Amino acid sequence: MELLPPDQIAFQRMLDTIRRNFERFGFLPVETPVMELSEVLLTKSGGETERQVYFVQSTGAIENGINAVSDALDATDGGTTIDAERVRAATRELARPEMALRFDLTVPLARYVAEHEHDLAFPFRRYQMQRVYRGERAQRGRFREFYQCDIDVIGKDALSVRFDAELPAVIHAVFSELDIGAFTIQLNNRKLMRGFFEAQGVADPALQALVLREVDKLDKRGEDYVRQTLTGEGFDLPAEGVDRIMQFVKVRSTSHADALAQLDALGEGSESLREGVAELREVLELVRAMGVPEANYALNFSIARGLDYYTGTVYETTLNDYPQIGSICSGGRYEDLASHYTKSKLPGVGISIGLSRLFWQLREAGIIDSAGSTVQVLVTQMDAAHLPHCLAIASELRHGGLNTEVVMEPSKLGKQFKYADRAGIRFVVVLGEDEISKGTVTVKDLRREDQFEVARGELARTLRVELAQAEALQNT
Amino acid sequence: MELLPPDQIAFQRMLDTIRRNFERFGFLPVETPVMELSEVLLTKSGGETERQVYFVQSTGAIENGINAVSDALDATDGGTTIDAERVRAATRELARPEMALRFDLTVPLARYVAEHEHDLAFPFRRYQMQRVYRGERAQRGRFREFYQCDIDVIGKDALSVRFDAELPAVIHAVFSELDIGAFTIQLNNRKLMRGFFEAQGVADPALQALVLREVDKLDKRGEDYVRQTLTGEGFDLPAEGVDRIMQFVKVRSTSHADALAQLDALGEGSESLREGVAELREVLELVRAMGVPEANYALNFSIARGLDYYTGTVYETTLNDYPQIGSICSGGRYEDLASHYTKSKLPGVGISIGLSRLFWQLREAGIIDSAGSTVQVLVTQMDAAHLPHCLAIASELRHGGLNTEVVMEPSKLGKQFKYADRAGIRFVVVLGEDEISKGTVTVKDLRREDQFEVARGELARTLRVELAQAEALQNT
């Protein structure tokens, strides 16, 4: 995804909004190098991830690798048989680079926290907004390079479930300010799910995963299909249990009180269920205490997320009017961030926004437009002899905090106006002999389509006020 | 270079300051993908650059490459002789990946402008602040991954020399606000240099480069050494000419008037010299018209920059009190940005700040410190029962624009204060029974080491005022 400036500006504003809100909630910035040691990146990941990794080699390393293959061949070229094994080994070496590009921000976070453990204060609250890389075939809306915007709170040894309540508050702040329409933060809890499934006789986690995968097809294939599959060969679940499962995953709360009632309705159950219910109840109460409107969060017992990773609260966020976009911000609670890199136990909770994909989807759905220019004022040039005046005015405007471009090469005034209009620059400053002698300038407001004359000393202040008014209007 | 949060915050603030000033001068943001086609990246660069490139391969591409080598071996394994050439060819294929990481922002800009030529308005003013990658051996202050902050103005067919005057104004704005000490923007012009050297009988550009390389040793080896070399075997320049060259490269202007006088003193000379003088004179006059103080710019006839690339104005910027740091921002005017990618002629002028290295050098020299936290307020928790109150106060503070962290896990108040102090958080909010009943909070100001009580409704406003005052004080 490579953008032209108007889209890049819109994208940058989204990044800025996200960052501002992450900082508002006390998260600290971290950036990690794009390359990690391959052995670090691939500790955890399975085959699927590994196939999507980009490996990196410097020219020097490649040269060494080729030389090794070449040596292996040379050693036998004139001889009787070729040492194919040696050639193969050298080739494998060449094909197994030491470094790779990060494919998410979680593995680098784990490595970072393990490496700097003694210099960090826990609970460690970090945000990270960087690009990640996956060797997927490029296709519409799927990018090989894309921004992720992550926050995580990492505890040492333990981390109270209260932190699980902060993340919905951050999500609410971010998406309210991004102003992309009504949204719902969907909450569930893995312990609650486990407890419920155990009660239905589905105790094995792998089997739970398989059942959930079938249940996920409800929307597409319908109830009958899913019921037949789960009661049929392979699963052999009792019809009654399947009905309860299908009832369960359809639960969506409609208000705060309804969410609490839904939790009550689950009854006592196993310890796992009780724990999950208690955690969700605490999270719900604190989310409300943090001022998140109840329209913006709901229980959704079908949310599972990565079954092998998340252990408690899980989140997804959807746009009410665009369910087809899917989750725009997901995450959850995990038991141990960095078990591969440190002996310390580091439980955490986090969320992630895949901004490149989201931006693309929002554009496709017509929810966001290109932004106006970052340039707020164009100082035109009527006569080359006036250039020093124009430059001085631009300098005053910049000191006054206004993003200002000056026309450096004289051309017809009409052409300069047209340029401003096309570029999305709102104010055009005109300076003729008349204005110079009076110490004024003429300002044309291309948005409101009017113009006014103002004393030079008042220019920056006047335009600042106009822009502040426009911004205030937009926010109401 | 991987930073802990306090340094990351300081670094991020520098990035923000640079970006704000780039936008202030009407430059538009561009971001390009980290990977470019190898053939695009390596069109222009010589052997040295090529050896520093990082190549990228997805797991799939590597597998295909290995399979090809393996097939080449298999085809002959059982036979009489091995087709070593086929194995070598397959190995070379494996070792010549399609993609590589950008090693600067200039080549991606050239590709971007050529690709989007018909969608861009010229003169195209872009800024780009991204990381670049060079496969150097990592060493102190040299990084394999580092930020570059570039601006360029690209013209179509032609670009007035007036634009060359804008860049020193941007440099001045950036480094004034970065507040890292007195600095001087050094100006020179390649046409002027060429004209001067031609007059000394050094007409061949390659010879000029060799002479300049010797002259560059003046500081280290002394005048006698350089004079001997240039008059000696190989160069065979007349002693008088060498003296004139050494006089020339020592020219540094001491004021605006002196700069103009130094240009006058060069006399008439060749057309190239006259052009260079006229360009520098225009640049100097416009730099002044843009309000850059004359203490911040000077002629320096020893500045050459990339001899094969720059064709007119060239810039370097140095910190007056830290000459050993070298140039902190360099660039110049070039004839044609993208001749490899488009038939259009695209002259331009640009500068670049290598921020990772600069940040590291400023830290080493003790010029910048770690920043305070991005978190401005810590809301403490005296009693778990108060948590909903604490969360509500935090919510009010965040709505009031303050970056606020809440203590979620209760602990001793002393420990909470200590945490705030260590983390660099300035304000600590304390809420006891007493305050809750009165509708107030107690605020401890860790910087000023005092405390005060304030009505809850006034809290956000009060802290905003305190922070604004501190910022105003810092800027005076």
Domain residues of chain B, as ranges? 5-33+102-364, 58-96, 377-474
* pLDDT of amino acid B276: 97
Q: Which of A92-101, A264-273, B266-275, B433-442 has the lowest mean pLDDT?
A: A92-101
Mark yes or no for CB contact B404/A26 under 8 Å: yes
Confidence check: pLDDT of B408 > 80: yes
> Which residues in B lie closer than 8 A to residue A56 (C-beta atoms)?
54-56, 101
* pLDDT of amino acid B121: 92
* pLDDT of amino acid B48: 54
Across B426-447, average pLDDT? 94
Instruction: Give chain B's largest Cα–Cα span.
Output: 97
Band of the pLDDT at A80, cuts 50, 70, 90?
Answer: low
Residues 139-198 of A with CB under 8 A from B: 144-145, 160, 162-163, 166, 169, 173
Band of the pLDDT at B354, cuts 50, 70, 90?
Answer: very high
Was A119 annotated as part of a binding site? no
- Give yes or no for A404 touching B (CB within 8 A): yes
Residues 52-91 of A with CB under 8 A from B: 52-63, 65-66, 69-70, 73, 76-77, 82, 84, 87-88, 91
> Which residues in A lie closer than 8 A to residue B105 (C-beta atoms)?
none
Quote the CA–CA distance of A119 and A121 in Å, as a whole number.
7
Was A284 annotated as part of a binding site? no
Contact A437, A419 (CB under 8 A): no
Across A340-344, average pLDDT? 89
> Which residues in B lie closer than 8 A to residue A66 (C-beta atoms)?
91-92, 95
Mark yes or no for CB contact A9/B29 under 8 Å: yes
Confidence check: pLDDT of A46 > 90: no
Was A104 annotated as part of a binding site? yes
Q: What is the ipTM metric for this complex?
A: 0.93
Band of the pLDDT at A45, cuts 50, 70, 90?
Answer: low
- Give yes or no for A411 touching B (CB within 8 A): no
Confidence check: pLDDT of A137 > 80: no
* pLDDT of amino acid B21: 98
Residues 116-135 of A with CB under 8 A from B: 116, 119-121, 123, 125-126, 131, 133, 135
Quote the CA–CA distance of A395 and A389 in Å, as a whole number.
10
**Positions of E strands within A335-414:** 348-354, 377-379, 404-406
Confidence check: pLDDT of B139 > 80: no
> Which residues in B lie closer than 8 A to residue A290 (C-beta atoms)?
391-392, 394-395
Phi-psi group of A332: left, alpha or beta (phi > 0 → left; psi -120 to 50 → alpha; rest → beta)? left
- The one-letter amino acid at B286: L
Q: How far is A418 from chain B (nearest CA, A)?
A: 11
Band of the pLDDT at A49, cuts 50, 70, 90?
Answer: low
Chain A to chain B Cβ contacts (< 8 Å): 254
Was A81 annotated as part of a binding site? no
> Which residues in A lie closer than 8 A to residue B409 (C-beta atoms)?
123, 160, 162
Mark yes or no for CB contact A173/B387 under 8 Å: no
- Give yes or no for B268 touching A (CB within 8 A): no
Alpha carbons within 13 angstroms on the beta-carbon side of residue B324 total 4
Band of the pLDDT at A306, cuts 50, 70, 90?
Answer: confident
> What CATH number was assigned to the domain covering residues B5-33+102-364?
3.30.930.10
- pLDDT, tens digit, for every residue of B224-268? 998 999 999 888 999 999 999 999 999 999 999 999 999 999 988
Across B6-28, average pLDDT? 97
The topology under which CATH files domain A5-35+103-364 is BirA Bifunctional Protein; domain 2 (3.30.930)
Confidence check: pLDDT of B413 > 80: yes
Nearest residue on chain B to A108, judged by CA atoms? B2
Q: Which of A95, A61, A96 has the alpha carbon at shortest distance from B90?
A: A95
- Which of B3, B87, B144 comes nearest A87 by C-beta? B87
* pLDDT of amino acid A42: 83
Mark yes or no for CB contact A59/B65 under 8 Å: no
- Give yes or no for A93 touching B (CB within 8 A): no
Between A136 and A126, the more confident residue is A126
Quote the CA–CA distance of A438 and A62 in Å, as a whole number.
69
* pLDDT of amino acid A218: 82
> Which residues in A lie closer than 8 A to residue B173 (C-beta atoms)?
398
Domains B5-33+102-364 and B377-474 share a fold: no
Band of the pLDDT at B143, cuts 50, 70, 90?
Answer: confident
Nearest residue on chain A to B159, judged by CA atoms? A409
Residues 215-244 of A with CB under 8 A from B: none
* pLDDT of amino acid B79: 54
Q: What pairs with residue B429 in β-bridges?
A: B379, B443
Q: Which of A28-32, A317-321, B283-287, B409-413 has the lowest mean pLDDT?
A: B409-413
> Which residues in B lie closer than 8 A to residue A423 (C-beta atoms)?
121
Long-range contact pairs involving A289-294 (C-beta distance under 8 Å, separation at least 24): A289/A165, A289/B387, A289/B388, A289/B391, A289/B392, A290/A165, A290/A166, A290/A168, A290/A169, A290/B391, A290/B392, A290/B394, A290/B395, A291/A169, A291/B391, A291/B392, A291/B395, A292/A168, A292/A169, A292/A172, A292/A185, A293/A172, A294/A255, A294/A256
Confidence check: pLDDT of A66 > 90: no
* pLDDT of amino acid A453: 96
Mark yes or no for CB contact B95/A50 under 8 Å: no
Was B184 annotated as part of a binding site? no
Q: Which of A80-94, A135-149, A299-313 has the lowest mean pLDDT?
A: A80-94
Mark yes or no for CB contact A286/B97 under 8 Å: no
- Which of B63, B131, B403 comes nearest A24 by C-beta? B403
Across A211-217, average pLDDT? 85
Contact A396, A456 (CB under 8 A): yes
* pLDDT of amino acid B17: 97
- Give yes or no for B33 touching A (CB within 8 A): yes
Across B75-99, average pLDDT? 73
- Give yes or no for A409 touching B (CB within 8 A): yes
Alpha carbons within 13 angstroms on the beta-carbon side of residue A453 total 8
- Per-residue buried b or exposed e for B38-66, using 16+ beta carbons within 10 Å of the residue's own CB: bebbbeeeeeebeebbbbbbbbebbeebb
Across A96-114, average pLDDT? 93
Between A475 and A273, the more confident residue is A273
Confidence check: pLDDT of B410 > 90: no
Nearest residue on chain A to B393, judged by CA atoms? A290
Alpha helices in B400-458 (DSSP H): 413-423, 433-438
Q: Which of A285, A287, A10, A320 has the alpha carbon at shortest distance from A171?
A: A287
Band of the pLDDT at A44, cuts 50, 70, 90?
Answer: low
> Which residues in B lie closer than 8 A to residue A87 (C-beta atoms)?
69, 73, 87
* pLDDT of amino acid B138: 63
* pLDDT of amino acid A85: 78
Q: How far is A254 from chain B (nearest CA, A)?
A: 23
> Which residues in B lie closer than 8 A to residue A404 (C-beta atoms)?
24-26
Going by the DSSP 8-state scheme, the letter that residue A252 receives in this structure is B
* pLDDT of amino acid B47: 56
Q: How far is A303 from chain B (nearest CA, A)?
A: 26
- Which of B4, B76, B291 comes nearest A116 by C-beta? B4
B377-474 CATH choice from 3.30.420.40, 3.30.565.10, 3.40.50.800, 3.40.50.150 = 3.40.50.800
β A54-58/A440-445 pair status: unpaired
- Give yes or no for A9 touching B (CB within 8 A): yes
Was A152 annotated as part of a binding site? yes
Query: Mean pLDDT across chain A, nearest whole number?
Result: 91
Confidence check: pLDDT of B473 > 90: no
Confidence check: pLDDT of A47 > 70: no
